[in-house]
Structure 1
Amino acid sequence: MSSRKNKELFEAICFFGKKAVIKEMRYSEFEAVLDGVVGVSELANKTVNAAYLKINHSLQVHSIVTFTIEFNERGFADEDWNIPLRHLADNAGPGPDLGAGPIRLACRSQCSVSWYQRELWEPSQDGVNHFVLLKDAVKRNKLGLIVDDLGFDEIPTLSPPPAPEVPVISETVEVPTLTATSEEDINARLEAQAKEFQKQVDQLVQRQKQTLHGLEEKYKDEIDQVKRAMRNETQTYRHQAQELEQQANHNKVLLEKIQSRNTRLERDHIQLADQAETQKAQYDELKDEYLGLLRNQRSNENEESEKVVELKEQLTLKSVEIDDLKDDVTSQKAMVSELQAKIASFEQQNQQVSESSSEEIENLRSLLSDKQSEAAALAAKVTQLEANVEKLTAQLESSQSEGLEHVQQLKKSESENKKLQENSKSAEFKLQEANRALAALTTKYEGIKQELSEVEAAEASSTDLFDKMESLELVFVAYHAGAGHISLPARQLEDYLEKPLVFAAQKCSVTLGQYKSWLLHYDNPECGECHVPVKRIDAPSDFQAGVNDRCTKHRVDNGNVAMFRKTS
């Protein structure tokens, strides 16, 4: 910082090692490190404790802010680091006296802005005294700060004149006695010296006042202009911040609507895809069923036609056999009638020749018995042929009944074929309906794809907005119970809008589930079993589920484990 104004203070940054100050730089150099212009190679891949100092022109510490900062592998500072060091120093509490009265100190245990408390560290006065290290580093003046030889407050003080040397002549010293005249002369000289010193002091004070007045008059216009410009710039930034905040709120609402619409569209898309898969599965099942029915119908028709052909052939064979048997029966009946006619003729001849000789009678009797035996054999054969005819007639009747059954089965198969044809027609109709439903689903899917593209375009526009806010280096502040105020750069705003409680839990150094349990306890501090009021725990890191949200009766017993309150 420039030292043109006498009342201005120098600003410096000191980085600590384990037991000493390892690096010093002016605040302007530190701003270049924060902007990513230069890096600090010796601090690469480290998280170090540092101190922001305000130093007067007598090389005395005026203010200290202790903070931590992280450097990456190339020695550049963390891009998300945004602690307002000057504001913390101007609003800091009292600290130890380092030579110019109590300093202003901002540290972890003494911070005016609570949400920056975890970014600070606590200096020590035992063992390694960080205040002494800072005081010695300032006195060494490695930064080449311009020091005033005589400060404004260094006003000369009056001192009495030196006492006259009294010569020692002997062991006994004779003290001269002062007369009244000598005492008056000494008092007069002392008064004259006092007046002269007072006159010099008055002249010096007057000169300093004139100098200060001249400096104030000289820089008054510039200071007023700077103040007006800063007020105007602050007002402009405030308006821009309000507009961006309104736009961010509007975009947040729009983003929530888009997200809900996107969720709804995705759900509809999944449902439509499921419906399409179901319709496709039904279509495949109907198609397979239709093809199976056609195959079964054709196989049944072929089997029935083969059975009908076989039955016809069997009926033809049976009818041929029956005709042959009928011919045999007819021929046998003719033979029987012929034999009966012969027997009747033989009987007539027997009666006619009864009167002939006995020898002839015996011959005729023997011949008659032979003929009678032949007639009995023929009668038996006729009886057998009649039985065969009856048997063949029964077989023919059974064949005819089987033929009737096959005819009925054929009729039944024809009705089944008609049903199969009707089922095939209904299956074709269902296939047509499935095709129409599939076409409708395809159209709806195209609409959903178009809506998704519109949603992606809207998200891209919101991303452009976040990039614009990030280019303006805007920082947003959100408040959460237990976590206090959380400062968020623009690049983290989108993540915060999606999961705000995760940021709050990280700020409190607890998990998301622990933070939610603590929120329930913080909003309603009572026992989770009997609803008896219990003591409220203000810090999420001090909260234990099952212990702090239960009364003494229902509290979870942790055995011999003693619970201690966590400290910063």
Structure 2
Amino acid sequence: MSKPQLIEAVMFFADDGSISKQMFYTEFETLLDGLVKMPVFADQQIRVVYVTINARLQIRSAVFFYLDFDESGAPDSGWNIPLQQLAERAGRGPDLGGGPIRLACRSQCPVSWHQMHLWDPSLTAGNNDLALLRDTVKINSLGILLREEETSSVSPARLQVASEDQWYAADSSRELAEKLAERLSRDYRQKAAQLVKQQRERLASLGQEHQAELAALSTQAKTQIVDLQGQIQALHQAVRQQEMLNKTLKGQLDEQLAVQQSERDEMAARLRAAERHARTEREILREQFDEELRARLIATQAAAEEQARRHEAEATQRGAHQVLERLAGQGVVFVVFHPGAGHLTVPLQDVDRYLASPLGYAASKCFVSESQYRQWLEHYQRPRCEGLQASGQRCDVAVERVETPGRFVMGDSNCCMLHKAAARLRTVS
């Protein structure tokens, strides 16, 4: 008698203890080959069970194992547990309706080096994983084709040869068996075709999801481009407003100059009138007029220039600060490099302080003064002895470079051994 055909399936357990997904083993192999992904399991370790099921929806073996998924929902490429061999070599388990099953888990593993990749099912009342598997298989969500119970085998000693007039009945039984086998074969072919169709539909669905993700990314990129264009347009508008403001200030200055010219003409007329009275008085008035006019011109021009510079500086600073705030809001960070301090991330609120004194900012990050940092930087860039020889020239002998500003000592770190000793002698004396 031939061995009964078993169906291979895989069940995925959720965190709450329920079975969230089930598939045939052929589908599971497609998942392991990387042809499909399961984003719902992305970056998780899932409890999975491999089961073999007979045609009467009875579990015959079960292997409880872990499966890791990466960030994209693809299974671990290094996973290589021989599920079918473990199921065949597994020890006896409980009876789930069709006799004792073969059970492979962490506490009962036929191959010791695979034990760490297996897990033990819960057998507590109300939370029995084996009972849940048995009930799930009975529901037959996979659509397994059912068979009638197989007839018990008859030993050869009990076989009897029928009389010749009953041979045709035997032929009819053979014909019925052939028709049954043909029907089962056709059903299995239909099931295989259905599985192929399901895989094609799943691949098509994944393709559509991929296209949707590409479209979403394209839309996001277009939105960012539109935002940047809007920012550029706002900056252009701010520049145009500043140009208009400068033009207005220039017009005001021209008007003030015209008023001053009118006043000068008036004063000139007064001078001409005063010339008729006395020459001395005319000279005094002229001097007063010239001094007053020069003072007014200087004050007016200085005020106008200061106002124009202030407006221009405010607009420029406001535009630059807005740009920096937008860049920081987009996730842009400002990183600078200074010897001794390394790569520094400058917060938005420290940008003005850094621009005012980059070396002073780097010195504060090294916990030294700016003067000490400058002395160390000169030594770091050119580690030579700065001591003076008898001839008055620098020693210029190569010395060991001090890598950090905090360890630099002027007159010691930048001198060779000879000039260090000389410096110590001078200090002692």
**TM tier, shorter chain?**
0.3 to 0.5
Of structures 1 and 2, the one scoring higher in RCO (CA 8 A, sep 6+) is 1
Asked which structure has the greater CA Rg, the reply is 1
TM-score when normalising by structure 2: 0.36
Q: Which has the higher helix share?
A: 1
TM-score when normalising by structure 1: 0.28
